[in-house]
């Protein structure tokens, strides 16, 4: 690792074991007190990691609160690729939510929604392939994968039918830069009380429908769900209640994410078969057999003045 920039100055080298990626991650510190995040990946991922680093640079320069990019290159005698970024000292919202009251959850939700809206002000390149074409292709592949594995159930078939019958909802959707994995484990509350985002490294794409990211609010199996936080995230993003057309896409993206969990099982990303099947059931229940317009958990009557109480 001696070919990593500033390596000789490292006095602390602490492994980080959280997250689903195959990257090796370390919290490093130099003799003069600088703290950084070091990520190391296999050289086969060079192009992907270079793109991720450049995206992080662009987001940071745009004023998105995230880690400052500090260095990128080859290491390990050319067998690995590394990225070095500033360390965000704080706690992720995933670990904070169980400790917070409803008002505090609401405040963090508003801030998180406003942060996501800022991320989506970064435009997609003009030559970006149609979102409809790309997502339909992924759905087709996921359905084919599902049918070659033993996942038959009434819940999964209902989800697949819904995806096939409503695919036209993807037509003519706008595209922006998207984070790609905007969920509570990647949102950090820093010392100022503001929310920052990390890990621009697990996205479905660098660009896409901005509303797709709000699909990460789906109620996953085995996780507590915080309606005040997620309701506020929507309100922060839209500066009020979401428009009616949003919910149709949200339902579709929830269905997409549920189906995608099948691939996560095959790729050994910590998702079990029973959990994946439960995700299908949760989505169907969330939208009352896919008949509801908005998800059951959304608190439409929640007064924004809650933050003043």
Query: pLDDT tens, 118-172?
Result: 999 999 988 999 999 999 999 999 888 888 776 666 677 888 899 999 999 999 9
Q: Which of 181, 294, 185 is nearest to 235 (CA)?
A: 294
User: Judging by beta carbons within 10 Å of its beta carbon (0-12, 13-18, 19+), is residue 240 exposed, middle or buried?
Assistant: exposed
pLDDT score for 204: 61
- How many whole angstroms separate alpha carbon 42 and alpha carbon 22? 9
Question: What is the average pLDDT value for the chain, to the nearest integer?
Answer: 86
**211: pLDDT strictly greater than 60:** yes
Look up the CATH superfamily of 7-86: Phosphorylase Kinase; domain 1 (3.30.200.20)
Query: What architecture is domain 90-308?
Result: Alpha-Beta Complex (3.90)
> What is the mean predicted confidence (pLDDT) over 167-179?
94
> Where are the CATH 3.30.200.20 domain residues in the chain?
7-86
> What is the mean predicted confidence (pLDDT) over 1-14?
80
- How many whole angstroms separate alpha carbon 277 and alpha carbon 4? 43
- State pLDDT tens for residues 70-124: 999 999 889 999 999 999 999 999 999 999 999 999 999 999 999 999 999 999 9
| Burial readout 87-106 (b: 16 or more C-beta within 10 A, e: otherwise) | bbebebbeebbeebebeebb
CA dist list (Å): 61 to 54, 69, 219, 271: 11, 10, 33, 35
Provide the CB-side half-sphere exposure for 234 (13 A, CA).
25
- How many whole angstroms separate alpha carbon 125 and alpha carbon 133? 16
> What is the mean predicted confidence (pLDDT) over 170-189?
92
User: Which has the higher per-residue pLDDT, 9 or 201?
Assistant: 9
Length of the chain: 309
């Amino acid at each position: 690792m001696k070919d990593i920039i500033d390596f000789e100055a490292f006095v602390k080298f602490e492994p980080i074991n959280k997250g689903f990626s195959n990257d090796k991650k370390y919290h490093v510190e130099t003799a003069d007190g600088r703290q950084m995040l070091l990520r190391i990946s296999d050289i086969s991922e060079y192009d992907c990691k270079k793109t991720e680093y450049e995206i992080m640079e662009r987001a940071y320069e745009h004023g998105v609160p995230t880690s400052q990019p500090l260095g990128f290159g080859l290491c390990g005698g050319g067998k690995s690729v590394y990225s070095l970024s500033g360390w965000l000292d704080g706690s992720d919202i995933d670990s904070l939510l169980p400790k917070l009251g409803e008002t505090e959850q609401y405040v963090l939700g508003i801030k998180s929604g406003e942060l996501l809206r800022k991320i989506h002000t970064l435009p997609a390149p003009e030559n970006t392939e149609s979102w409809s074409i790309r997502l339909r292709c992924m759905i087709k592949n996921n359905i084919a994968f599902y049918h070659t594995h033993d996942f038959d159930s009434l819940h999964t078939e209902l989800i697949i039918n819904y995806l096939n019958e409503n695919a036209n909802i993807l037509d003519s959707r706008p595209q922006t830069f998207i984070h790609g994995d905007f969920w509570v484990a990647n949102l950090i509350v820093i010392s100022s009380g503001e929310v920052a985002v990390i890990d621009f490294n697990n996205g479905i794409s660098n660009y896409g429908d901005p509303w797709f990211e709000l699909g990460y609010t789906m109620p996953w199996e085995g996780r507590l769900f915080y309606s005040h936080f997620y309701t506020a995230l929507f309100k922060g993003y839209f500066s009020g209640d979401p428009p009616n057309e949003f919910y149709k896409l949200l339902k579709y993206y929830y269905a997409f994410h549920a189906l995608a969990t099948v691939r996560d099982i095959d790729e050994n990303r910590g998702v079990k078969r029973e959990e994946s099947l439960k995700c299908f059931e949760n989505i169907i229940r969330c939208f009352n057999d896919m008949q509801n317009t908005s998800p059951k958990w959304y608190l439409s009557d929640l007064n924004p003045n809650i933050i003043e109480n």
